[in-house]
Structure 1
Amino acid sequence: MSNASAHNHGIRSRHRNNDPAKRIHLEEVDIPISLVVDIPTHDDDVLVSRSDSSSNENMSVRADSTNSTITIPNTNTTSTNSSSSSSSSLPLPPLTPITTPSKPIPMPLDLSISNSLTNGCMIYLTTLLSTEEFIYDCLPFSLLLTTSTSYSTLLSNSIQLNNFTNINNLISYTSNNNNSERCENYIKIIEDNLNSNKNCGIDLNQNKNQVIKQTKNSLGNYKLIKKISNLINEETGIYCYLENVKSKRPDDAYLWNLPSGIPLPDKSIPTCSSCSRSILNTYSEFTSTTPTLNSTLVKQAMSRVNDACGASFVNLSAVALSNTSTRSASVNSLFLCPLGWFLGVLLSVFSLIWI
């Protein structure tokens, strides 16, 4: 069963069981990709709906090969307690950092390498994916969020089963600081080699393949995503990412799309939580040193949050503006659940799949 059909089955089952969640009909707005972004899928029906009886709210997503819309309750979502109910069943970070990830380990770029790439690029990526240091020692969470169908499946299964232990351990493993400097240098070498014409430079210059573009972007965001994935809610002690992807509303999860060049949806207002503050302030910290991070989008998101939470909620003045272009969403990019997620999310993965 495909990811999309599995989700649809669970959603339809809820409706057959007469889920008592109150349905709210509101304006429909276009949804950009989410926590997991840019992973091609062959399903026509990408995603459907999520309702939560405890929140008395209903969220629905309709997507086909030509259109995708999401219905978002048109209410202010700035409550700092929005994650309290969803956090109760989430695991705390391991006391000792995970040094051996649970198997099977999600693979970046699985099912995403296209024949439209040049031979040199295909060979380079294939070789990279057979390198233990890349797929094991320095596994980039940024690439899992954006180019991994296996990670998308792991996340959606975790949400369906309400068991986030594997994701929790994976975050601990990929954000482990014991080998930070070595892995950061290693990923930088990979990023530089990717730009070579004998590898994927021609493909990048042609600007036609979303997978290779997202790969370059995610490699550039390696250090940033590693840091924000390790952020913990000051009140609950739980990883912010887990709370965001399990939240009843997608607004906070949309923040994880910003490194992929995906702006917040027009109607979305992230919560005034310590996680929102920490994530946005971390983006601000990285704007001057991370060319792949669109600081204009970061500033727009920070302005929206400050409008809702107070002018000094996040440090808007620290953002160094860039000219990095934004990306548009496609239906085939939807993948994350809350996509989290995702978001997409997380990329054709970083996409949110609401249960």
Structure 2
Amino acid sequence: MFTPPPSPLPGPGPAKPFAPSDKLASAADEPQPTYAPDQTPRKRRIGRRMRWAALVVPFVLILITASTRYVTHPAAFDVLADASHSTWSDLAHWTPHKRHPQEEVAGEYSSVASVSTASITDIASLTQAALAIESSSASASPTPSTTTGAPTVPSDPVLPTPFPQPFDSDLTQNYSSVSCFNFFNNMTNTEPFRRCRAFSLLWQSSSAFISAQSNVTLMNTLVWGTCNTPIDADACSVNMAWFAGELQTACAADLKDGNTRVTETLTAIRAYDVMRKVACLVDESTGAYCFVKAVAGTDSADKYTYNLPLGLPIPSTTAPSCSSCAQDVFQIYADALQNSSTTLDGLQLTYEDAVETTNQKCGQSYATAIVKSNGAHARCPWSWSAPVTLAVVAAALVIQ
């Protein structure tokens, strides 16, 4: 039977005592475990970004809200404009035009006019009713008509007394403020307003003027009266600018509430200059007022072009006449939009669409197309770019 050899015994000699340093040394010789790098700097960066996001994002939202308010309602900043401090009496003593004798101006014009008790007639409805005429076709080339039913421009005719005035059918309406109601009463009874015979307001809101379409001779006389006013054109332009400023002050609440009578009146007053020019435009080939020709039915479709400054578009069912008169009217509008310092909000709203429709039939060079660059209806191209850019930057700060 095999017997294993005995285990070797340690050699002779004294035993070596154990020292703590020996254990530490052997531990140092062993491979050390691998640990992940410290996470503290990364956490600090994330914290900083979150704090920046908390500051930037609310600021961006506020900026977007403010820019949206400006784009949708720029009139909110009208409070920065200078207010007019003129009084009614300041405009009461203009020197009359030499075509007519001096008329005595009766004292102050602060008294309230007698108000008709007739039913309220909407301005837009009144104008549209006056335009209920048949559309006539014409040649596509802008050549003047060889025959006309319109009389020539009269020579110093006898004008009706009193001369037709705006709001003659009814001045009563629900106003938001007493100051606005008083303004309309005072304005329509002041000589600086009445003597200017504003074609824009007559065509918009005078039932006597609109009814004269059935009597071409009478209409011819009335148009002559709007072109030859006791107060010259430049003084009337100053008067109307003053009335527009006062209306915005006295009727601020009504404008804010969108009162139709007030907003349309402001549009018509602002269009005084350009509409006086087109009303007094004469067809050189016939010697007749272009407007009277349109009323007489020779170029009846042209009648709608006189509504553009009032914010009323040409009906889509109307065939353009392509007449030389209408072409001259469009050119006056284009010049006014490009050069006028007056706010032509109604014309800005309707002109481009009218040009596009007319040029489709009459040729691309018939009416001048322009780029809208001002007014309440044109939006600033960079109105959204700034807040959107800031929003993108804020998002990038959070993601990084």
1 CA distance for matches of 2:173 and 2:357? 41
Matches within 5 A, 1:316-335: 316-317=369-370, 320-322=372-374
Unaligned runs of 5+ in 1: 1-35, 51-58, 60-71, 159-163, 327-355
Q: Residue 185 of structure 2: which of 97, 119, 126 is its match? A: 126
CA contact (8 A) 2:130 2:210 kept: no
Q: What's 1:256 paired with?
A: 306
Unaligned runs of 5+ in 2: 1-120, 379-400
CA contact (8 A) 1:284 1:295 kept: no
Q: What's 1:145 paired with?
A: 203
Q: Residue 171 of structure 1: which of 214, 223, 228 is its match? A: 223
Matches within 5 A, 1:194-209: 194-196=247-249, 199-207=250-258, 209=259
Change in 2 beyond 3 A, CA 1:250/1:321: farther
Q: What's 1:298 paired with?
A: 351
Q: What's 1:276 paired with?
A: 326
Q: Which moved more, 1:246-255 or 1:232-241?
A: 246-255
Change in 2 beyond 3 A, CA 1:183/1:115: same
Change in 2 beyond 3 A, CA 1:113/1:39: farther
* Deviation, structure 1 residue 81: 6.7
CA contact (8 A) 1:112 1:211 kept: no
Q: What's 1:266 paired with?
A: 316
Q: Which has the higher contact order (CA 8 A, sep 6+)?
A: 1
1 CA distance for matches of 2:321 and 2:131? 24
In structure 2, the residue corresponding to 1:251 is in which secondary structure? Answer: helix
Instruction: Please give the per-residue CA displacement for 1:140-164, whole angstroms capped at 9, x wherever unaligned.
Output: 11110111122122333x1xxxxx2
Q: Residue 111 of structure 1: which of 161, 166, 169 is its match? A: 169
CA contact (8 A) 1:37 1:145 kept: no
2 CA distance for matches of 1:47 and 1:222? 20
2 CA distance for matches of 1:200 and 1:40? 22
* Deviation, structure 1 residue 231: 0.6
Count of paired positions: 251
Q: Residue 214 of structure 1: which of 238, 245, 264 is its match? A: 264
* Deviation, structure 1 residue 105: 1.2
Instruction: Please give the per-residue CA displacement for 1:105-150, whole angstroms capped at 9, x wherever unaligned.
Output: 1111123323301211111111112212211x21211110111122
> How much is the aligned-residue C-alpha RMSD, in angstroms?
3.1
* Partner amino acid, structure 2, of 1:264: I
In structure 1, the residue corresponding to 2:167 is in which secondary structure? Answer: coil
2 CA distance for matches of 1:175 and 1:95? 12
In structure 1, the residue corresponding to 2:172 is in which secondary structure? Answer: coil
* Deviation, structure 1 residue 323: 5.7
CA contact (8 A) 2:311 2:349 kept: no
TM-score calculated relative to the size of structure 1:
0.62
Q: What's 2:22 paired with?
A: none
In structure 1, the residue corresponding to 2:283 is in which secondary structure? Answer: coil
Q: What's 1:186 paired with?
A: 239
* Deviation, structure 1 residue 217: 0.7
CA contact (8 A) 2:244 2:270 kept: yes
* Deviation, structure 1 residue 281: 0.5
2 CA distance for matches of 1:48 and 1:183? 27
CA contact (8 A) 1:171 1:230 kept: yes
Asked whether 1:92 is paired with 2:142, we answer: no
Change in 2 beyond 3 A, CA 1:39/1:151: farther
Structure with the higher strand share, 1 or 2: 1
1 CA distance for matches of 2:273 and 2:163? 20
Change in 2 beyond 3 A, CA 1:170/1:248: closer
2 CA distance for matches of 1:305 and 1:287? 18
Instruction: Please give the per-residue CA displacement for 1:260-298, whole angstroms capped at 9, x wherever unaligned.
Output: 112222232321211011100101111132423433521
Q: What's 2:336 paired with?
A: 286
2 CA distance for matches of 1:47 and 1:275? 20
* Deviation, structure 1 residue 80: 5.2
* Deviation, structure 1 residue 175: 1.8
CA contact (8 A) 1:142 1:225 kept: yes
Change in 2 beyond 3 A, CA 1:264/1:48: closer
Instruction: Please give the per-residue CA displacement for 1:204-245, whole angstroms capped at 9, x wherever unaligned.
Output: 1110x2221111111000001110001111321110001111
Q: Which moved more, 1:299-308 or 1:251-260?
A: 299-308
CA contact (8 A) 1:142 1:221 kept: yes
Larger-Rg structure: 2
Structure with the higher helix share, 1 or 2: 2
1 CA distance for matches of 2:233 and 2:164? 20
Q: What's 1:31 paired with?
A: none
CA contact (8 A) 2:198 2:226 kept: yes
In structure 2, the residue corresponding to 1:266 is in which secondary structure? Answer: coil
In structure 1, the residue corresponding to 2:288 is in which secondary structure? Answer: coil
Change in 2 beyond 3 A, CA 1:294/1:95: same
CA contact (8 A) 1:184 1:222 kept: yes
Q: Which moved more, 1:291-300 or 1:185-194?
A: 291-300
CA contact (8 A) 2:197 2:226 kept: yes
